[in-house]
A and B are shown apart, each in its own frame.
Chain A
Amino acid sequence: MKSMLKRLSPFAPDQSGAVSALFEFGGLIVICDAGGCTGNICGFDEPRWFTRPSAVFSAGLRDMDAILGRDDRLVAKLQAAMKDSGLAFSAIVGTPVPAIIATDFQALKRMAEKRTGLPAITVATTGTRSYDQGASAAWLELFRTFAAERLPVEPGTAGVLGATPLDFPCLNAGALLSDTVAKLGWRTVRCYGMGAGLDAVRTASSAERNIVVAPSGLAAAEYLKKTFGTPYEIRCPWIPARTLETLSGLAGRNVLVVHQQYAANAVRDAVLSTAPETRVTVASWFMMTPELMREGDFHIESEEAFIESVANGGYDAIVCDERLRVALPRSLRDSVVDFPHFAVSGRLIEEG
């Protein structure tokens, strides 16, 4: 059955992506749930939560809140928590509960802004979609809300869009990404959400160029291009060293790379740069930018489809998070090159 997982467990959902994108910006984040979703997000999908105090809250919805749609109570609680907190904004992130009762997130946003006197962001995630969709919506809403002013362009300044631990499974991934972008010739690098905070978002229009490192950053990059004329390029400048080190062994083989599309493309480029005779196919469980797909690349629709594609693809090496190993044919399980993806496995690595 297409909607079943029999070997794998679910990947990071949209609400985790939204929280991950917003985590470092100094806002009060309310997950509009009964408690379970918050436990999943904080306890599993947000590794930074364990390392620093953060303002992540559960709305603590109870059955009658959901049945009666008591948004006014939620906003009153939000107002009380925001009072004297020194936090810059509030963010309300959706889950299945508001999705079922058709919560009006626009109305929540207006009510929250009115009651707190501060900006509010709402992300209407449903818990049924993938993390990158939630992150994409959150990035877009963040820049729409705070990147309001057109500032003079500062030459040599680059913005990095789409960085979260879900795609870059290192707690210091922001610094690693910034360093690699700096080596491309940029004097100042703002890695939004992993190092660069709300002030950087407010001055986003002054960036000379944006670099989109994951599909979740693309919508915000397009928004900034449309609004301020900031050009962007898609480039994933950093992949884990231990993955890179093992790529040389793939020369001449039939390789499947499974990850977020931009990172997987970066691996393909790395392999082909030294071994152009290698056949490399990219596949992703997540959002894919059609223009960046090459012949044979494919989106993975289900576990069942993944198993079938791998079995029939003639691949002799798979570059993917090792968590996917259990869904591979036994003959291929020893041919996995580990390419950690936190959104898949919830596994962090250390590097740098």
Chain B
Amino acid sequence: MKQAYSVTAAELAKRGVNDVPPELMSSANLVYSSPATLAFNSPGAQGFGVKRAGLAVPGSVMLLVAPACCGRNTAALGNEASLAERFFYLMQDDTDIVTGRHLTRIPEAVKEVCDACPEKPSAVMICITCVDALLGTDMERVCRKASDFAGVPVVPCYMYALTREGRLPPMASVRRSVYSLLEPAKKDPAAVNILGFFSPLRDDCELYALLRSAGVRSIREISRCGTFEEYKRMAEANFNLVLNQEARYAAADMEKRLGIPSVELARLYGPDRISKQYKLLGQAVGAEFDDSEPRSRAEDAVAAFRAKYGRRTFAVGEWLNADPFELSLSLIRQGFGVSEIFGTVGGANFVYVRRIAELSPGTKIYSNLSPTMMFYDGRDADCDAVIGRDAMYYHPSLPGVPWNDERQPFGHAGVRALFEALGDAFDGKEAAR
């Protein structure tokens, strides 16, 4: 019987980023589907996929123009009644997907959508799929025509799963779409946008207080904009803070169209590196950030966990609010063990692989998407706790946290919350699971 393929951090670091084993590369294999992989095997499957993300614009509705299969799981996304009422479908048949004749129906469909809404929507987001990717549809043009016909802004959202590993993956593209309705506005030097997520940062994130200490009065996130008017004020920002690489393209577009520059911060789980990053941010924006208090609270939380539960050894997954390699490195540097990482190795995170190889050379690295994961048997794993929804799938009997809440952890508050959640899980508190 085959075994799940893994490589140690030492072996992988030795091979280098240009010689990653094909077993870890999804493009070289069939893509295995297990409940551990659902969130990242499909751009519309769970959480904020393209469909739900496209509705981040307040007051907008979505028209999915696709074969029925592409809209099927929207019923699950729409369990929340208010969300269900914002989805509409124009279904393509066999002839449509070959000839593209559905395109002529879109303006009328947009009008019908507007007529069906109790209030005129702020925008109609049109979600298109692999079909139109292959047909080479000029959706910008179709949207302009639909907008003229229906008298409402119409914005394309490209749910092109075929381009997931391309220059502009669907989740990067949709971030550009949701900010595309912003129009040039007079700048407010005391306004900042936070880009990257479709749900807000945790309320206790120190980033808010740090920005306010530097004189920032308006901190806007799209998910906290209650109205379309509020959303439009995001165009006033002095700069954008990009907290997720997938928002880089949107930020670049906003810089070009609206003249808003951006600064990028990474989500980190090592308090020392978080502090360093804040220092660099301060230098970039001409302020000095004092993060000593939140840092101290984060370090206390780590220390309290370690004191109570010892130097635990974790399995770390990638279906979570972290880069699994960065999180693993942070855990190792804080005195914990990491025996397994389920993650996708790439140029951006290989730097962490090299550091893990130095500190924990035997850490095994798996690809969730490898066909050999069909044979994964966690009974031999040398871990006693898990972080990540996928890791919890592989080790259902171990204590751990899914750590993929929609409220986004960031900075020292994220570190503190993670270790508090882990503590809850070890105490057997239901909420942590």
* A interface list, Cβ under 8 A from B: 1, 3-6, 9-16, 30, 33-40, 42-45, 49-50, 53-63, 66-67, 77-78, 80-81, 84-86, 95-97, 99-101, 126-130, 323, 345-346
Which B residues are CB-close (under 8 A) to A35?
31, 41-43, 161, 164
- A128 in contact with B97 given A1-B112, A13-B67 (CB within 8 Å): yes
When the two chains form their complex, are residues B69 and A9 in contact, meaning their CB atoms are under 8 A apart? Answer: no
When the two chains form their complex, are residues B97 and A38 in contact, meaning their CB atoms are under 8 A apart? Answer: no
Query: Can you list 22 A-B pairs with a CB-CB distance of less than 8 A?
Result: A3-B92, A4-B89, A4-B91, A9-B74, A30-B30, A35-B164, A37-B42, A38-B42, A39-B33, A40-B44, A40-B72, A42-B33, A44-B75, A50-B35, A59-B31, A60-B27, A63-B160, A80-B29, A85-B374, A100-B97, A100-B131, A128-B91
Q: Which of B28, B31, B67, B113 contacts A96 (CB 8 A)?
A: B67
Which B residues are CB-close (under 8 A) to A128?
67-69, 91-94, 96-97
Interface flags, B50-76, vs A, CB<8A=1, else 0: 000000000000000001111111111
When the two chains form their complex, are residues B68 and A13 in contact, meaning their CB atoms are under 8 A apart? Answer: yes
**B105 beta carbon closer than 8 Å to chain A:** yes
* Least Cβ–Cβ distance between B150 and chain A, in angstroms: 13
- A40 in contact with B109 given A9-B89, A101-B134 (CB within 8 Å): no
- A58 in contact with B33 given A1-B109, A3-B105 (CB within 8 Å): yes
Q: Report, as a range, how many residues of chain B touch the other chain.
A: 35 or more
* Least Cβ–Cβ distance between A182 and chain B, in angstroms: 33
* B interface list, Cβ under 8 A from A: 1-2, 26-35, 38, 41-46, 67-76, 78, 84, 87-94, 96-98, 102, 105, 108-109, 112-113, 116, 129-131, 133-135, 159-166, 369, 371, 374
- Kindly name the residue among B26, B113, B165, B371 whose own CB sees the greatest number of chain A CB atoms within 10 A: B371
When the two chains form their complex, are residues A127 and B69 in contact, meaning their CB atoms are under 8 A apart? Answer: yes
Which A residues are CB-close (under 8 A) to B30?
30, 57-60, 77-78, 80-81
Complex Cα distance, B314 from A335, in Å, reads 53
When the two chains form their complex, are residues B75 and A346 in contact, meaning their CB atoms are under 8 A apart? Answer: yes
- A60 in contact with B71 given A4-B91, A128-B94 (CB within 8 Å): no
Which B residues are CB-close (under 8 A) to A43?
38, 42, 45-46, 73, 76
- Kindly name the residue among B34, B69, B159 whose own CB sees the greatest number of chain A CB atoms within 10 A: B69
Complex Cα distance, B93 from A54, in Å, reads 30
Residue of A nearest to B374 (CB): A55
Residue of B nearest to A74 (CB): B30
Complex Cα distance, B317 from A183, in Å, reads 49
When the two chains form their complex, are residues A9 and B33 in contact, meaning their CB atoms are under 8 A apart? Answer: no
When the two chains form their complex, are residues A36 and B130 in contact, meaning their CB atoms are under 8 A apart? Answer: yes
Q: Supply 10 further A-B pairs (C-beta < 8 A) apart from A9-B74, A66-B134, A130-B68.
A: A4-B88, A9-B89, A34-B161, A34-B164, A35-B31, A35-B43, A37-B69, A60-B27, A61-B162, A63-B163
Which B residues are CB-close (under 8 A) to A15?
69
Q: Which of A49, A53, A86 contacts B1 (CB 8 A)?
A: A86
Complex Cα distance, B163 from A128, in Å, reads 21
When the two chains form their complex, are residues B72 and A10 in contact, meaning their CB atoms are under 8 A apart? Answer: yes
Which B residues are CB-close (under 8 A) to A55?
374
Complex Cα distance, B73 from A346, in Å, reads 9
When the two chains form their complex, are residues B89 and A10 in contact, meaning their CB atoms are under 8 A apart? Answer: yes
When the two chains form their complex, are residues B164 and A127 in contact, meaning their CB atoms are under 8 A apart? Answer: no
Complex Cα distance, B160 from A271, in Å, reads 48
Residue of B nearest to A11 (CB): B68
Q: Which of A14, A39, A49 contacts B73 (CB 8 A)?
A: A39
Q: Which of A42, A44, A127 contacts B68 (CB 8 A)?
A: A127
When the two chains form their complex, are residues B76 and A44 in contact, meaning their CB atoms are under 8 A apart? Answer: yes
Which A residues are CB-close (under 8 A) to B98?
99-100
Which A residues are CB-close (under 8 A) to B2?
84-85
Residue of A nearest to B92 (CB): A128
Which A residues are CB-close (under 8 A) to B69?
10, 13-16, 37, 40, 95-96, 127-128
* Least Cβ–Cβ distance between B48 and chain A, in angstroms: 14
* Least Cβ–Cβ distance between B334 and chain A, in angstroms: 34
Complex Cα distance, B27 from A1, in Å, reads 40
When the two chains form their complex, are residues A39 and B166 in contact, meaning their CB atoms are under 8 A apart? Answer: no
Q: Which of B72, B88, B131 contacts A16 (CB 8 A)?
A: B72
When the two chains form their complex, are residues B108 and A1 in contact, meaning their CB atoms are under 8 A apart? Answer: yes
Complex Cα distance, B30 from A30, in Å, reads 8
Complex Cα distance, B27 from A161, in Å, reads 38
Which A residues are CB-close (under 8 A) to B97?
96, 99-100, 126, 128
- A42 in contact with B93 given A9-B71, A9-B72, A35-B31 (CB within 8 Å): no
When the two chains form their complex, are residues A53 and B43 in contact, meaning their CB atoms are under 8 A apart? Answer: no
Which B residues are CB-close (under 8 A) to A5?
71, 88-89, 91
Residue of B nearest to A343 (CB): B72
Complex Cα distance, B102 from A100, in Å, reads 14
- A9 in contact with B41 given A38-B33, A66-B162, A126-B97 (CB within 8 Å): no
Complex Cα distance, B30 from A130, in Å, reads 26
- A62 in contact with B162 given A1-B112, A80-B371 (CB within 8 Å): yes
